[in-house]
Amino acid sequence: MMPKPNTPAIPPIVAAQASAPDCGPPGLEARPYQQRIIARTLGLLKASVSSVLIEAPTGSGKTVMALAIAQAMQEQLGMSVGWAAMRRNLLAQAAVENARNFGVEMKLISMFDKCPPQVDLLVVDEAQHDGALSMATLHGIIKPKKVMGLTATPFRSDRIKLCFQEVIRDAGIHRLIQDGFLSQFIHYTIPSYTPGSVAAAYAREPDRWGQSLIFFHRLADCVACQQQLEAQGVQTEVVTATTDRERQIDDFAAGRIRVLLSMLVLAEGFDCPSLHTVFCRPGSKLPTIQMCGRVLRKHPGLPFKQIVQCERTSYPFTRTATPAEQYLWTAEGWRSLTVNRRIDAMSHRMLQVIASVPVSMPEFLAGWKPGPGPRRRYSTLSMPRPTPRTNPF
- The pLDDT score that the predictor gives to residue 264 is 85
| Range scoring the smallest mean pLDDT among 7-11, 204-208, 229-233, 241-245 | 7-11
CB 58 within 8 A of CB 28: no
| Range scoring the smallest mean pLDDT among 73-82, 149-158, 201-210 | 149-158
- C-alpha 58/C-alpha 272 separation (Å) is 11
- 159 and 202, same domain (yes or no): no
> How far from chain centre, in Å, is Cα 189?
17
Q: What is the mean pLDDT of residues 183-199?
A: 98
- C-alpha 220/C-alpha 382 separation (Å) is 83
- 274 and 187, same domain (yes or no): yes
- pTM value is 0.76
- 170 and 191, same domain (yes or no): no
Structural domain includes residue 87: yes
pLDDT digits (tens, 9 = 90+) for 223-272: 999 999 999 999 999 999 899 988 999 999 999 999 999 998 898 878 89
- 61 and 90, same domain (yes or no): yes
CB 104 within 8 A of CB 64: no
- 227 and 140, same domain (yes or no): no
Count of beta carbons in the 10 Å neighbourhood of residue 274: 16
- C-alpha 303/C-alpha 247 separation (Å) is 27
More confident residue, 70 or 386: 70
- C-alpha 278/C-alpha 267 separation (Å) is 11
Quick one: pLDDT band at residue 375, thresholds 50, 70, 90?
low
pLDDT digits (tens, 9 = 90+) for 280-322: 999 999 899 999 999 999 999 999 999 999 999 999 999 999 9
Q: What is the domain extent for residue 90?
A: 26-174
Encode burial over 337-356: b for 16+ CB neighbours within 10 A, e otherwise.
eeeeeeeeeeeeeeeeeeee
Max Cα-Cα span within the chain: 116
Q: Which residues contact 301 (CB under 8 A, 6 or more apart)?
A: 16, 17, 18, 20, 274
pLDDT value at 1 more than 50? no
Structural domain includes residue 331: yes
- 144 and 39, same domain (yes or no): yes
- 60 and 36, same domain (yes or no): yes
- The pLDDT score that the predictor gives to residue 86 is 80
- C-alpha 343/C-alpha 205 separation (Å) is 24
Return the closest-CA partner of residue 263 out of 203, 215, 223, 208.
215
- The pLDDT score that the predictor gives to residue 171 is 85
- 123 and 228, same domain (yes or no): no
- The pLDDT score that the predictor gives to residue 267 is 87
Encode burial over 217-250: b for 16+ CB neighbours within 10 A, e otherwise.
eeeebbebbbebbeeeebebbbbeeeeebeebbe
CB 10 within 8 A of CB 334: yes
- 70 and 130, same domain (yes or no): yes
pLDDT value at 380 more than 80? no
- The pLDDT score that the predictor gives to residue 126 is 81
- The pLDDT score that the predictor gives to residue 26 is 43
> Residue 282: which CATH number?
3.40.50.300
Domain stops at, among 174, 209, 232: 174
Q: Which residues contact 65 (CB under 8 A, 6 or more apart)?
A: 27, 34, 37, 38, 41, 54, 56
Structural domain includes residue 140: yes
Structural domain includes residue 18: no
Structural domain includes residue 129: yes
Return the closest-CA partner of residue 342 out of 5, 10, 17.
10
- C-alpha 126/C-alpha 130 separation (Å) is 8
pLDDT value at 4 more than 50? no
- The pLDDT score that the predictor gives to residue 8 is 41
Domains in the chain: how many in total? Answer: 2
Most confident of 17-21, 66-70, 246-250: 66-70
- 100 and 118, same domain (yes or no): yes
Mean pLDDT of the chain, nearest integer: 84
| Range scoring the smallest mean pLDDT among 6-20, 104-118, 145-159, 282-296 | 6-20
Percentage of the chain modeled with pLDDT above 70: 78
More confident residue, 391 or 346: 346
